[in-house]
């Protein structure tokens, strides 16, 4: 795909020269300092847009360099493709060539996604991309069609969630670098699995962040929870926008990545006529057309606003999907009874029923937590533009102890949570280890080198939990034990673990093969609360001639239900069945009008209506 934006970084050319370009509009002099293998200094020439350029012959992949600004300071490249010695060390030239074997891969539609979110460092004992490759057979056998990888841009040290990255173009050195990530994408495609990469275009991490010394990367017009806002609409913003657009297209084009999950899009402050996400989505759609491969953008956004995923021709920004945290909050609060912190807006069955039907819980109602009316209706946007989950890195890791749902509720409730997500019309997302009931936590961990920053992070974590009634001590993010405690055990062969895996496998296959489950239009789902006091939720789903009745019992006791609809019910699934290591089913295999159906505590049942 032709890149219409100014090039930044270092790239080996077809004539064997290496081209360097860096944006530093206020600097009077910029030089390229080759550090290894042979020290050299090369003056750079400015253009009228604030970029400095030079080309050097005889350089190869691995050449280490920095830029010298006004003979005052020597810094790594903001567009570095590799940081072999970490965030403070020299940048390195990278050869972009790779022997791909995924020519037959054309990608997946959003509606086909069964997403599995993972953190490369804690997913396996090797803590790298190869550790993920080694588990692709497991994921494929489960029915996973897409892996979503937490950010891999170079961050300080070798332990971090990835949201402290300061080199968006550089693949984390301890994970396996550029070729390690490409090998993972290549292998995933061979397994029929798409790859989604989590990217951060709303802030940059604090340690190793030298951007402000190059130019006006930040603006004082807005505030973010992570520091200065990136400059997407103020003076000199064109180069900043171009930088992040280049980054997105690099992942999707050169790295063959299928989609990007964009972190906290609500904090990409842009009041210009063409919002950054709209400009980016247009270019991603163009890349899809020219490459012949499906590409998509999924927003994490703390706004119940369909504008971000509405088509551009209808005044939207044209992104392709978004996370729905409210589905999680409603489900979590219902199962655990937690109603403090941001869970204060939830509790009871009604919020979950609302999210099941409308994706959002708040579509204009008053929010006690936000102290204002909040949200808008998603209208006729299909369910497959909304991603839901019972667990993810944020909702586990941002608990004080990083404790998973597995350790908070019973085994029957775990199965109910899985069924609620997988039987919903939305796109389901699983968090690594969820499928076998991992009990180890996923805690917040760092490996910073700045003592003041380490202290600030620790204190910040303690303050963050003040509105929650959680007990215990906040794990120290900097300690290696916090990272080790968060690495998956992969103890999948326990009695309950094996049963849970099979339940996930069955439900994933069920949603992929039933016409009613594949239908994601808004008129295909009907949600009812027939017995609010009994915590019983009914969902009817239809597609063509396929009709399903799904019953969820969120109470801790047996609940009777009398079917009054037409036709005959034939049972297809019961989470309480012995095959799923349950207490045994009470519901009949077949039922007709006026038949009594009993649901075990914390159970889900699926009937086909014939």
47 is in an annotated binding site: no
Tell whether 131 is in a known binding site. Answer: no
User: 215 and 237 in contact (C-beta within 8 Å)?
Assistant: no
Strand ranges (E), 382-489 = 386-389, 427-431
The answer on whether 77 is annotated among ligand-binding residues is no
Annotation says 476 is catalytic: no
189 is in an annotated binding site: no
Phi and psi (nearest 5°) for 215? Answer: 175, -170
Q: Which long-range contacts (CB under 8 A, 24 or more apart) does 274-279 make?
A: 275/317, 276/201, 276/232, 276/241, 276/244, 277/308, 277/317, 277/318, 277/319, 278/312, 278/316, 278/317, 278/318, 279/241, 279/245
Catalytic residue of the set 117, 207, 270, 300: 300
Dihedral class, residue 422 (left if φ above 0, else alpha if ψ from -120 to 50, else beta): alpha
Burial 355-373 (b: 16+ CB within 10 A, else e): bbbbbbbbbeeebeeeeee
Greatest alpha-carbon pair distance for the chain in Å reads: 86
Strands 427-431 and 115-118: parallel
Task: Please indicate if the annotation marks 88 as binding a ligand.
Answer: no
326 annotated to a ligand binding site = yes
d(CA 412, CA 460): 36
Which tokens is 153 given?
Answer: 């841009």
Nearest CA to 173 out of 121, 98, 96 is that of: 121
Q: Are strands 73-75 and 17-23 parallel, antiparallel or unpaired?
A: unpaired
- Under DSSP, the state recorded for 75 is E
Separation CA 186–CA 133 (nearest Å)? 10
Q: Give the dihedral sign, CA 440/444/450/452.
A: negative
196 is in an annotated binding site: no
Taking the CA of residue 240 as centre, how many other CA atoms within 13 Å lie in the half-sphere pointing to its CB? 25
Torsion-angle region of 347 (φ positive above 0: left; ψ -120 to 50: alpha; else: beta): left
Find out whether 213 is annotated in a ligand binding site.
Answer: no
Using CA atoms, how far residue 27 sits from 22, 70, 168, 235, 476, in Å, is 11, 6, 23, 16, 41
Do the beta carbons of residue 103 and residue 190 sit within 8 Å? no
Whether residue 264 is annotated as binding a ligand: the answer is yes
Ligand-binding site membership of 368 (annotated): no
Q: Is 261 annotated as a binding residue?
A: yes
CB 491 within 8 A of CB 522: no
Catalytic residue among 263, 338, 345, 434: 263
394 is in an annotated binding site: yes
Q: Please indicate if the annotation marks 398 as binding a ligand.
A: yes
- Catalytic site residue 533? no
Residue 292 Ramachandran class (φ > 0 left, ψ -120 to 50 alpha, else beta): left
246 is in an annotated binding site: no
325 labelled as ligand-binding? yes
Rounded CA-CA distance 547/526 in Å is 11
CA-CA distance, 423 to 408, in Å (whole number)? Answer: 22
Q: Binding-site residues, please?
A: 261-266, 325-329, 393-398
Q: Which residues are catalytic?
A: 263, 300
Q: Binding-site residues for substrate, please?
A: 261-266, 325-329, 393-398
């Amino acid at each position: 795909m032709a890149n219409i934006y100014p090039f930044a970084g270092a790239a080996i050319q077809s004539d064997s020269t290496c081209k360097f370009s860096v944006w530093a509009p206020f600097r009077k002099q910029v030089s390229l300092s080759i550090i290894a293998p042979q020290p050299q200094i090369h003056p750079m020439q400015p253009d009228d847009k604030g970029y400095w350029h030079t080309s050097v012959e005889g350089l190869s992949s691995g050449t280490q360099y920095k830029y010298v600004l006004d003979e005052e300071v020597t810094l790594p490249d903001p567009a570095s493709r590799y940081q072999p010695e970490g965030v403070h060390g020299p940048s390195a030239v990278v050869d972009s060539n790779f022997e791909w074997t995924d020519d037959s891969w054309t990608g997946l539609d959003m509606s086909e996604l069964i997403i599995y979110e993972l953190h490369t460092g804690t997913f396996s004992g090797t803590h790298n991309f190869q550790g993920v490759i080694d588990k692709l057979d497991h994921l494929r056998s489960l029915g996973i069609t897409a892996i979503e990888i937490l950010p891999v841009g170079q961050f300080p040290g070798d332990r971090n969630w990835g949201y402290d990255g300061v080199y968006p173009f550089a693949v984390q050195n301890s994970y396996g670098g550029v070729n390690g990530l490409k090998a993972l994408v290549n292998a995933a495609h061979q397994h029929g699995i798409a790859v989604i990469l989590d990217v951060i275009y709303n802030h940059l991490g604090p340690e190793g962040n030298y951007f402000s010394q190059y130019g006006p990367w930040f603006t004082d017009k807005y505030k973010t929870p992570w520091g200065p806002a990136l400059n997407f609409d103020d003076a000199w913003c064109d180069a900043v926008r171009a930088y992040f657009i280049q980054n997105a297209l690099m992942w999707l084009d050169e790295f063959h990545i299928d989609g990007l999950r964009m972190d906290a899009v609500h904090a990409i402050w842009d009041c210009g006529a063409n919002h950054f996400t709209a400009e980016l989505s247009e270019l991603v759609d163009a890349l899809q057309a020219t490459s012949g491969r499906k590409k998509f953008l999924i927003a994490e956004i703390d706004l119940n606003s369909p504008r971000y995923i509405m088509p551009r021709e209808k005044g939207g920004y044209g992104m392709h999907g978004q996370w729905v945290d409210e589905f999680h909050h409603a489900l979590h609060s219902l199962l655990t009874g937690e109603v403090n912190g941001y869970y204060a807006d939830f509790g009871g069955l009604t919020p979950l029923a609302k999210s099941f039907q409308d994706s959002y819980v708040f579509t204009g109602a008053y929010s006690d937590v936000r102290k204002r009316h909040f949200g808008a209706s998603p209208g006729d946007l299909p369910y497959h533009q909304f991603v839901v989950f019972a667990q993810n890195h944020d909702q586990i890791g941002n608990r004080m102890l990083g404790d998973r749902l597995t350790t908070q509720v019973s085994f029957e409730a775990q199965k109910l949570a899985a069924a609620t997500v997988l039987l919903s019309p939305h796109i389901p997302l699983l968090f690594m280890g969820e499928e076998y009931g991992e009990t180890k936590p996923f805690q917040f961990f760092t490996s910073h080198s700045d003592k003041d920053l380490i202290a600030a992070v620790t204190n910040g974590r303690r303050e963050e939990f003040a509105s929650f009634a959680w007990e215990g001590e906040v794990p120290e993010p900097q300690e290696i034990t916090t990272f080790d405690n968060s690495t998956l055990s992969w103890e999948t062969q326990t009695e309950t673990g094996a049963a849970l895996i099979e339940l996930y496998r069955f439900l994933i296959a069920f949603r992929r093969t039933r016409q009613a489950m594949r239908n994601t239009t808004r008129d295909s789902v009907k949600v009812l609360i027939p017995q609010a006091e009994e915590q019983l939720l009914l969902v009817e789903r239809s597609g063509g001639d396929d009709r399903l009745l799904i019953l969820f019992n969120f109470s801790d006791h047996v609940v009777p239900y009398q079917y009054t609809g037409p036709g005959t019910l034939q049972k297809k699934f019961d989470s309480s069945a012995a095959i799923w290591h349950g207490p045994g089913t009470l519901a009949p295999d077949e039922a007709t009008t006026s038949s009594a159906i009993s649901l075990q505590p914390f159970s889900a049942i699926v009937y086909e209506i014939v």
